[in-house]
Amino acid sequence: MLAILHPNTSLDDDAYRQTMHYLENLPGVSVRVHEIQGASQRLTEIYLLGDTKSLDKEEIEALPAVERAIRISDDYRILGRHRDDRRQSGFTYNGVEFSQSNLNVFAGLCAVDVPEHVEMMMQALEDNGEVCTRMGAYKPRTNPYSFQGHGKGCLPWVFEKAGKHGIKVVAMEITHESHIEEIDTCLEKLGRPTGVMLQVGTRNTQNFELLKAIGRQSTYPVLLKRGFGITLNESLNAAEYLASEGNANVIFCLRGMKTEAGQPHRNMVDFAHVPAVKRLTRMPVCVDPSHSVGSREKSPDGVLDVMHATAQGVIAGANMVLVDFHPKPEKALVDGPQALLMNELPAYLEDIRLCHDTWKKRQAIYQRLKGEATE
Ligand code: PEP
Ligand code: MN
């Protein structure tokens, strides 16, 4: 059961104290409090866990600080969508809104290499009005002898450049909990010129200790990649791990599944799951067409497979695109062959806008149908 308190309820209110006293004394029930800071108000959600079957919804709703109660199912308790659950999806971070109804593009380098390339990338983003990017500093690699990223050494100049070009959010994968502090210390020292979204890679989707460490902090939102060899349910549970530790600002990223059947693509593109994740949870959903498709192949229509895959995800309602670009792919240290080029950025962004608008128009068609049915 979930009890949602009246907006802006203060922890000093008598109503709050009385409510908590009642809930904490329910036999066999444990209580977890979640604070959500929205743009205009603070919401407190109280999760009642354990032996909650016999609890009476009306009785909980009668408590002085409670606005309404929702009976939640066992799966994805915090991030899931439950019956009669009208809670909003998403969050705002560093001035950028993330929700199940809008769209942000994170084009950037798979791996940070030299300042000149980072500069060119960020300049191109600024020229095109983009405020988010991806920049890998810690790279998990299949082969132990491959380049593993510049690590904390590159953070100061990457963050400074981001600030200079008006980038508000940098998606950056971390592979160890110590990287959270490295990023935080660096940003703090620089006066926080930009923000960071911590990325959990597909190889770490079920690294539960890493998930718990990331979930314990709420400074940075999280981009969780779907595990490439596990079920969707298992990956969604990994997201719930983050939320259960306190950080529910999570975006779920589809990035293709590892199977020989995916060929000629690097992975089997799984973007038909965009609406499924939105139905099952309240998380904004990201698609990563670069790591799904994995090449610059194009079909006779002249459109790259990476662009077609992006279109499929966005037209189905994706809320974020994470995509590899590089000014000189032949010099990229990681994933050059799948990178899009700087001169492809404007057309790509136009294509994405077109698909996002089309998704909105598609919704309107079916809303009309629903209207006719109830007339
Ligand atoms: C990445 O986005 O840089 C990456 C390594 O992706 P994945 O974890 O999905 O392979
Ligand atoms: Mn990569």
DSSP letter for each residue of 56-106: -HHHHHTSTTEEEEE---STTTTTB--TT--PPP-EEETTEEE-SS--EEE
List pLDDT tens digits, range 181-198: 999 999 999 999 999 999
Three-state DSSP class for residue 118? helix
Residues with CB under 6 A from ligand 1: 110, 136, 173, 201-203, 225, 255, 288, 291
Q: Residue 245 phi/psi, 5° resolution?
A: -90, -5
Q: Tell me the pLDDT band of 103, cut-offs 50, 70 and 90.
A: very high
DSSP state, residue 45: E
Ligand 1 center from residue 333 Cα (angstroms): 14
Contact (CB, 8 A) for 326 and 336? yes
Q: Note the ligand closest to the C-alpha atom of 140.
A: 1
Distance, C-alpha 203 to centroid of its chain: 16
Residue 110 CA to ligand 2 center (angstroms) comes to: 5
**Ligand 2: centre distance to CA 335 (Å):** 5
The per-residue pLDDT for range 61-87, each reduced to its tens digit, is 999 999 999 988 778 989 999 887 777
Cα–Cα dist 94/292, whole Å:
28
- Best residue among 291, 306, 322 to mutate for probing ligand 1, ranked by most atoms within 8 Å of CB: 291
Average pLDDT over residues 6-35: 92
3-state helix, strand, coil in the chain (%, to 5): 40, 20, 40
Q: Which value, to the nearest 10 degrees, does the dihedral of the CA atoms of residues 172, 196, 46, 4 take?
A: -120
Q: State residue 243's pLDDT score.
A: 94
Q: Is the pLDDT of residue 39 over 70?
A: no
Mean of per-residue pLDDT scores for the chain: 95
Mutate to test the pocket of ligand 1, among 134, 146, 255 (most ligand atoms within 8 A of CB): 255
Atom of ligand 1 nearest to the CA of 256: 9
Q: Which amino acid is at 289?
A: P
Please give the distance, rounded to the nearest whole angstrom, from the Cα atom of residue 76 to the centre of ligand 2: 29
- Residue of 225, 269, 290 to test ligand 1 pocket, by largest number of atoms within 8 Å of CB: 225
- Closest by CA position to 242, among listed 282, 210, 288, 286: 210
Q: For residue 334, how far is its CA from the centre of ligand 2 (angstroms)? A: 6
CA of 84 to the centre of ligand 1 (A): 36
pLDDT on residue 50: 87
> Using N-to-C axis directions, what is the helix angle for 115-127 and 155-164, rounded to 10°?
20
Residue 265 has pLDDT above 90, yes or no: yes
For residue 173, the ligand closest to its alpha carbon is 1
Ligand positioned closest to the Cα atom of 322: 1
Instruction: Report the nearest-CA residue for atom 4 of ligand 1.
Output: 201
pLDDT in tens, 130-162: 999 999 999 999 999 999 999 999 999 999 999
Nearest ligand (C-alpha, residue 136): 1
Q: What is the pLDDT of residue 89?
A: 82
Render 241-263 in DSSP notation, one character per residue.
Answer: HHHHTT---EEEEE--B--GGGT
Question: Interhelix angle for 155-164 vs 178-190, to 10°?
Answer: 50
Do the Cβ atoms of 63 and 22 come closer than 8 Å? yes
Q: Which atom of ligand 1 is nearest to the CA of 203?
A: 8
Give strand pairing partners of 193.
none
314-344 tens-digit pLDDT:
999 999 999 999 999 999 999 999 999 999 9
Q: Which atom of ligand 1 is nearest to the CA of 200?
A: 8
291 alpha carbon – ligand 1 mean position (Å): 6
In the chain, the amino acid numbered 108 is G
| Model pTM score | 0.93
CB 291 within 8 A of CB 228: no
Closest CA relative to residue 171, chosen from 291, 257, 73: 291
What's the DSSP call for residue 227?
P
Nearest ligand (C-alpha, residue 333): 2
Alpha-carbon span 5 to 341, nearest angstrom: 49
What pLDDT band is residue 177 in, cutting at 50, 70 and 90?
A: very high
Q: Which protein residue has the closest C-alpha to ligand 1 atom 6?
A: 201
Beta-bridge partners for 38: none
C-alpha of residue 201 to centroid of ligand 1, in Å: 5
Q: Is 3 helix (H, G, I), strand (E, B) or coil?
A: strand
What integer pLDDT is reported at residue 375 of this predicted model?
Answer: 66
For residues 345, 130, 107, 154, the Cα torsion angle rounded to the nearest 10 degrees is: 120
* The residue count for the chain: 375
The rounded Å distance from CA 338 to ligand 2 centre is: 9
